[in-house]
């Protein structure tokens, strides 16, 4: 007797993953090259960025020596190739602002970003499903109109603005939650309780920025499912409204929505860039923004490539889930 786990179509799924990995290689190569090409076309000078304020007083000789040491005198393709070959070996260069290997910066911070994003996403799924189902029950009713209007408004509202207003309300006026950071400034140790209380506001704001899409899709999915034959059949059999709504309509309406989650990675990254900055969350998105402010090219380049890889991974996840959820789609993409 095979378990359900063993019955999954592992072969086709593995083949799809392999094909996508092959496709990801040229995409990532193109993105890294694009990053170098943009930098080469810009007025940005890595020597000045590396030398910082010392560069203002350094002699031309020293600057020229630095230029050779950094390999900036090489042509674009050569610099790109050097970066790429050391990146494959695990050396992403040194961050010019943090004076630390880029790989270490990423390693220290990525966990906090994943924690924030995962919490926010779970919250968005829970709240979004609830609101979407409530709205779908009576299309055009007052609840539906209220929920959809709220969703459109939240979609138009910039997450950083919501974040700032949340800080004003919850941290300043009500004084119930901390306004930012990971721990209280007075404390030197990191405790789970402190992290949890510092996580509430950023996670809620990030969840709110992801909510509209989710609410509108669940509303549409469940609304469509409510008109389908299985639901009408269930109603005709006299099942309770609750069973029909949650057991039949939600199940078939949610499936396509859940499979799309992986494709939301770009929006999640966009939201995290803004939310982490507002709340001084020590994650990777906040590091991206400070790297951009300080024109820290090695860090910025690595983070752009990392984000692209995350997007491709999300797309793969979405397609795998979709193939599992709807066997008609299969794993050919």
Q: Residues in the site for another protein, rule: CB under 8 A?
A: 26-27, 30-31, 34-35, 38-39, 42-44, 139-140, 144-145, 148, 151-153, 155-158, 160-161, 164-165, 167-168, 172-173, 179, 212-213, 216-217, 220, 223, 263-267, 269-270, 273-274, 277, 288-289, 291-293, 295, 297, 300, 303-304, 307-308, 311-312, 315
CB neighbour list of residue 114: distance below 8 Å, 6 or more residues apart: none
Query: Which of 239/294 has CB closer to another protein?
Result: 294
Token pair, residue 330, equals 């299969």
Identity of the residue, 165 or 240, whose beta carbon is nearer to another protein in the bound complex: 165
Residue closer to another protein, measured from CB, 10 or 44: 44
| Residue 229 CB neighbour total at 10 angstroms | 8
CB of 166 to another protein, least distance (A): 11
Shortest approach of another protein to residue 46 CB, angstroms? 11
To 5 degrees, how large is the angle CA 92–CA 98–CA 103?
25
Measured in degrees and rounded to the nearest 5, phi and psi for residue 328 equal -65, -30
Q: What are the beta bridge partners of residue 94?
A: 101
Longest CA–CA separation in the chain, Å: 88
In the numeric block, the tokens 């057991």 are attached to 247
Is 295 or 324 the residue whose CB approaches another protein more closely? 295
H-type helices in the chain, by residue range? 4-7, 10-41, 46-51, 54-57, 60-70, 76-88, 102-137, 142-156, 159-166, 192-226, 229-236, 241-242, 250-260, 265-278, 284-293, 297-325
User: Which residues in 88-99 are b (16+ Cβ under 10 Å) and which e?
Assistant: eeeebbbbbbbe
CB of 107 or CB of 158, closer to another protein: 158
Least Cβ distance, residue 298 to another protein (angstroms): 13
CB of residue 140 vs another protein: minimum separation in angstroms? 5
Q: Which is nearer to another protein, 27 or 58 (CB)?
A: 27
Smallest distance from another protein to CB 7, Å: 31
- Enumerate residues 6+ apart whose C-beta is below 8 A from 302: 87, 92, 93, 102, 103, 106
Q: Give least dist CB 39 to another protein, A.
A: 6
- Cα distance between residue 92 and residue 83, in whole Å: 7
Q: Could you please report the per-residue DSSP string of 262-279?
A: GGGHHHHHHHHHHHHHHT
The nearest distance, CB 196 to another protein, in angstroms, is 23
Closer to another protein by CB, 208 or 303: give it. 303
Residue 299 buriedness (CB in 10 A; 0-12 / 13-18 / 19+): buried
Comparing CB distances to another protein, the nearer of 151 and 208 is 151
Q: How far is the CB of 117 from another protein (least distance, A)?
A: 13
């Amino acid at each position: 007797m095979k378990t359900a786990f063993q019955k999954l179509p592992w072969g086709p799924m593995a083949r799809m993953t392999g094909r996508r990995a092959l496709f990801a290689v040229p995409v990532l190569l193109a993105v890294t090259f694009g990053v170098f090409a943009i930098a080469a076309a810009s007025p940005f000078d890595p020597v000045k960025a590396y030398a910082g304020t010392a560069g203002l007083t350094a002699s031309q000789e020293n600057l020229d020596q630095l230029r050779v040491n950094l390999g900036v005198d090489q042509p674009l393709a050569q610099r790109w190739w050097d970066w790429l070959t050391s990146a494959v070996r695990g050396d992403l260069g040194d961050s010019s602002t943090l004076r630390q290997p880029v790989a270490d910066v990423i390693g220290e911070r990525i966990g906090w970003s994943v924690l924030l994003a995962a919490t926010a996403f779970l919250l968005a799924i829970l709240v979004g499903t609830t609101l979407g189902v409530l709205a779908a029950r009576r299309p055009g009713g007052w609840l539906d109109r209220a929920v959809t209007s709220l969703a459109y408004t939240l979609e138009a509202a910039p997450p950083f603005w919501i974040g700032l207003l949340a800080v004003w309300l919850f941290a300043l006026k009500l004084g119930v939650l901390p306004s930012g950071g990971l721990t209280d400034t007075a404390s030197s140790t990191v405790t789970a309780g402190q992290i949890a209380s510092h996580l509430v506001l950023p996670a809620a704001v990030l969840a709110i920025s992801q909510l509209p899409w989710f609410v509108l899709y669940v509303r549409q999915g469940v609304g469509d499912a409510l008109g389908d034959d299985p639901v009408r059949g269930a109603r005709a059999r006299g099942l309770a409204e609750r069973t029909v709504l949650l057991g039949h309509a939600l199940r078939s309406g949610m499936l396509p929505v859940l499979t799309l989650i992986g494709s939301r990675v770009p929006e999640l990254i966009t939201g995290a860039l803004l939310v982490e900055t507002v709340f001084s969350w020590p994650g990777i998105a906040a590091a991206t923004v400070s790297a951009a402010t300080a024109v820290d090219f090695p860090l910025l380049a690595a983070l752009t490539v990392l984000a692209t890889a995350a997007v491709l991974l999300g797309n793969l996840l979405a397609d795998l889930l979709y193939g599992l959820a709807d066997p008609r789609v299969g794993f050919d993409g």
